[in-house]
Structure 1
Amino acid sequence: MRFTKMHGAGNDYVYVDCFHEPVPQNIPATAIAISDRHTGVGGDGMVLICPSEVADARMRMFNADGSESEMCGNAIRCVAKFVYDRNLAKKPELTIETGRGLLTMQLTPGRDGLIEQVRVNMGQPILEAAMIPTLLPGNPPANVPLDVAGQTINVTCVSMGNPHCVTFVDEVNDDWVLRVGPQIERHSAFPRRVNAEFIQVVSRSEFIMRVWERGSGETMACGTGACAAAVAGAITGRTDRTVTAHLRGGDLKLEWSPSGDVYMTGPATEVFSGDWSTSLS
């Protein structure tokens, strides 16, 4: 099985071109094996780039634990780059089918003609508790107390097609991400588990973010999480509606527009390609 390793701001996945490769027979097992950083290719998960009847391509995204997720903001930028660079659809504006629905993006090539930056219309945030989903009160659940890891913290919940729990902290550190993050992910308040973002506000136009992703653990970046954090910052009055998120793997620019749509702009980078033995899956 031919694969390509790509990353968006350090959030790395193994991509399979299902326009030309058969879909793996056991997708969860393949995702787990190929994502292993010691015995596989290594990545935060596996993404299938598939034909679509309604868009230029369809993205299916699987976490490193084999579970399927609805959406990944960093991955979709890489999908757009792959589709354009490989001539699957050579257009400056693409639509990609996802578990969130159809998303539209504008592509910016570099001097070599290959795509470097992608601006994605991530759609409108979902703020109804039942739709996120969370059992916490409020529409949106903003600054809501959550008992977790032996303490009570205030959280704000947003869905960008996948669920996010945003916690604003004085200083982002390992204890928040590596100890509290896993406990938030599997908290009973989140029936489908949740991505946990920890945000340190720098100014009204920028914040530092680390994330514990559902099914993958800490990642270098999370596009949907950055969008959710931008919305949470605006809802709670901590930030403006246009912000820059500083993540471990790089920066993302977010805009919660007057129309209600959230726009995310960031890099997409190809690392290498190779062949995976399906007998290892």
Structure 2
Amino acid sequence: MKWTKWHGAGNDFLIGDWSENYTEAQWQALIAKISHRHFGVGADGVMLVAPAEDKNFAARMIYYNSDGSRAAMCGNGIRCFSAHLHRTGRAREGLFTVLTDDGPKEVALRVADEGYQVKISMGAAIFAADQIPVLSVQGSMLDENLEVLGKTFKVTALKVGVPHLVVEMEDFDETRIRRFGPALENHPAFPQKINVNFVRQLSDSAIEVVTWERGAGLTMACGTGACASFFALYHAGRLTRSASVKVPGGTLDIYADDREEIFMTGPAVAVAEVETLAAF
């Protein structure tokens, strides 16, 4: 089976073609195997290019975390997916739309000297607890105290494509992130688990984000997490409408328009062509 290895700001993916010859359970098992860093090819996530019945869409994106679990959306992933469509002749430079499990996403793709630059319309953030979902008697989780492993964090929960928790942390200590990340991901307040974003504000137009991804662990970047972190602080009046988001793998440019729709721009880089053997 043939795959292309991509990364977006260090968040790495395998992209291949969907086939009806595999059941959903078989896809999940296969993806968990090939995503393994030592026994497979290695990736934070895997995307399948599937046909979209509606010709208004360039293709349908099916996304899986590295553990084989399905997710509705991936911000860095859809940038790579869009560039992959262009690279394989299935989309032209400029504007087109990709269908995801989180709905249609508008893409503006540019081929520059330094490679692909892709802007994605990420939609609006959702704070309603039942739509994230979050167990909260307040109807939302905005700047609330949440205790885990004996420590209390100030957190905000929201959905930008997928569920996210924004946790402010002054010192990005990897040991603490690896300890509290999975504990927060699996906290009983989040019935479908949650992506955990540790955030440090650098100025009124810049933040730094490290994400512990649901189903993937610590990654170099998370596009939806960067957008969620930006919007949580913007919504609280602490960030300007447009901001730079520094992640371990690079920088993403994010802004909100007058309707509070979120837009993200960043790179997409093709790394290698890969063919997995029959054992997979």
Q: Report TM bin, short chain.
A: over 0.9
Give the superposed CA RMSD. Answer: 1.5
> Per-residue displacement from partner, 1:221-241 (whole Å, max 9, x unpaired)?
000000000111112232222
Give yes or no for contact 1:221–1:249 (8 Å, CA) kept in 2: yes
The CA deviation at 1:85 is 1.6
Residue 140 of structure 1, CA deviation = 4.2
Q: Which residue of 1 aligns with 2:77?
A: 75
Q: Distance in 1 between matches of 2:107 and 2:139?
A: 29
- 3-state SS in 2 of match to 1:27: helix
SS in 2 for 1:178: helix
Point out the more displaced range, 131-140 or 90-99.
131-140
**Corresponding residue for 1:41?**
41
Q: Name the stretch that deviates more: 133-142 or 262-271.
A: 133-142
Q: Measured at CA, do residues 278 and 48 of structure 1 come closer, stay the same or move farther in structure 2, by a change above 3 Å?
A: farther
Aligned position for 1:102 = 104
Structure 1 position 172, deviation (Å):
1.8
* Partner in structure 1 of residue 261 of structure 2: 261
Cα gap change, 1:103 to 1:255, in 2 (>3 Å): same
Identify unmatched segments of 5+ residues in structure 2.
none
Q: Which moved more, 1:252-261 or 1:171-180?
A: 171-180
- Give secondary structure in 2 for the equivalent of 1:238: coil
**1:119-175, CA deviations, whole angstroms, 9 ceiling, x for partnerless residues?**
000011111111011013445421111111211111001101210000011122213
1:64 partner letter: S
* 2:236 counterpart residue number: 236
* Pair 219,51 (structure 1): closer, same or farther in 2 beyond 3 Å: same
TM-score by length of 1: 0.94
Please state whether the residue corresponding to 2:39 is helix, strand or coil.
Answer: coil
What is the percent sequence identity of the aligned residues?
37
Q: Is the 8 A contact 2:5 2:273 kept in 1?
A: yes
- Secondary structure of the structure 1 residue equivalent to 2:126: coil
How far did 1:22 drift? 5.7
Q: Distance in 2 between the 1:61 and 1:137 partners?
A: 32
1:1-281 aligned within 5 A: 1-18=1-18, 24-25=22-23, 26-54=26-54, 55-111=57-113, 116-138=116-138, 140-280=140-280
Aligned equivalents of 2:196 and 2:250: distance in 1? 18
Structure 1 unaligned spans of 5+: none
Shift of 1:176: 3.5
CA spacing shift, 1:139–1:266, aligned 2, 3 Å: farther
Q: TM-score, normalised by structure 2?
A: 0.94
What per-residue deviation string (whole Å, max 9, x for no partner) do you get for residues 80-112 of structure 1?
101112111224111111111000010111249
Partner of 1:177, secondary structure, is helix
Residue identity opposite 1:165 in structure 2: L
Tell me, what secondary structure is at the counterpart of 2:123? coil
User: What is the deviation of 1:278?
Assistant: 3.8
